[in-house]
Amino acid sequence: MGRLTAHRPKPMLPIHGRPLLEYTIGLLRRHGVREIAINLHYQPEVVIEYFGDGRAFDVRLVYSVEPQLLGTAGAARRLNGFLNETFFVIYGDVLTDLDLSHLASYHETRRSVLTLALYTAEDPTRVGIVDVDAAGRVARFQEKPKPAEVFSDLANAGIYVAEPHILKSVPSGVYYDFGHDLLPELLRGEQPVHGYRATSYILDIGSSERYFQAWADMTAGLVRVYSMPRTADTRRSRTPTPPTDQS
């Protein structure tokens, strides 16, 4: 994303005066999550300096700093002492107003070990695609298929509900990804993995163009955001300025 992330990690990109990550924390807080672990690698001090221990945002934050990247599942494996009950995973570059409470209820009623939030992708070749049966159980998954390999337009949103015991399948200290590695292993073992078809706003900010889209969508009121405690206001810019750096 060029100069946009030269001095800050992607989750700290500002949208209307607040970093993307603050909206994610606000969403979790809205749905009753007060203890949050944040995995960090690139410029971790930017996140830690802004959020501190989380008290200003009415949450408790725990940080896990990776000297080397371990993948999304490998990062969760490092936090297995913290993730000792059913937990959410939200990728740091996702902007969403998904109803997390409904997602958790869906997961619980189906006795799933892992539930993926799904959305309809305009271009299935740039995402992980999922095939689900009539009961919502995931039958097949493929990460970023070639055009001839596309079998679905349902895409992995990078938002999960998971049971802690699945982390036992993740090897320690090696790169291991939810989509590339853990999900296929769970499917091979015939573990109950389900897909939740979301109708909420979901956008992965994986490029400069999508970052500008996120800004425009929020300006247009297409995504619902939740206010943070007043004590957090002093930590953010009070003059939201639309992004102009398209490098």
Q: Evaluate if residue 234 carries a pLDDT over 50.
A: no
Q: Evaluate if residue 232 carries a pLDDT over 80.
A: no
Residue 239 lies in a domain: no
Q: Evaluate if residue 8 carries a pLDDT over 70.
A: yes
Q: Which two tokens stand for residue 102?
A: 């409904």
- pLDDT for position 229: 73
Residue 229 lies in a domain: no
Residue 230 lies in a domain: no
User: Where residue 203 sits, what CATH number does that domain have?
Assistant: 3.90.550.10
Looking at per-residue pLDDT, the higher value among 162 and 2 belongs to 162
Helix (H, G, I), strand (E, B) or coil at 232: helix
Residue 73 lies in a domain: yes
Looking at per-residue pLDDT, the higher value among 180 and 2 belongs to 180
Total domains in the fold of the chain: 1
Burial class (CB in 10 A: 0-12, 13-18, 19+), 167: buried
Which phi and psi (to 5°) does residue 182 adopt?
A: -70, -45
- pLDDT for position 238: 37
Q: Tell me the pLDDT of the chain averaged across its residues.
A: 92
Q: Evaluate if residue 189 carries a pLDDT over 80.
A: yes
Q: Evaluate if residue 16 carries a pLDDT over 70.
A: yes
- pLDDT for position 240: 40
- pLDDT for position 231: 59
The tens digit of pLDDT for each residue in 199-213 reads 999 999 989 999 999
Average pLDDT over residues 116-145: 95
Q: How far apart are CA 99 and CA 31, in angstroms?
A: 8
- pLDDT for position 13: 97
DSSP code at position 52: T
pLDDT above 90 covers a percentage of the chain that reads: 89
Owning domain of residue 87: 12-223
* Strand blocks (E) in the chain: 14-15, 18-19, 35-40, 60-65, 87-90, 94-96, 114-120, 128-132, 138-143, 154-162, 193-197, 202-204
Q: Evaluate if residue 161 carries a pLDDT over 80.
A: yes
Average pLDDT over residues 172-192: 95
Q: Which are the contacts of 15, defined by CB distance < 8 A and separation ≥ 6?
A: 23, 95, 211, 214, 215, 218, 240
Residue 110 lies in a domain: yes
Residue 203 lies in a domain: yes
Average pLDDT over residues 242-246: 49
Q: Evaluate if residue 247 carries a pLDDT over 50.
A: no
Q: How far apart are CA 146 and CA 164, in angstroms?
A: 33
The tens digit of pLDDT for each residue in 67-110 reads 999 999 999 999 999 999 999 999 999 999 999 999 999 999 99
Residue 232 lies in a domain: no
Burial readout 29-63 (b: 16 or more C-beta within 10 A, e: otherwise): bbeebeebbbbbeeebebbeebbeebebbebebeb
Residue 234 lies in a domain: no
Looking at per-residue pLDDT, the higher value among 2 and 114 belongs to 114
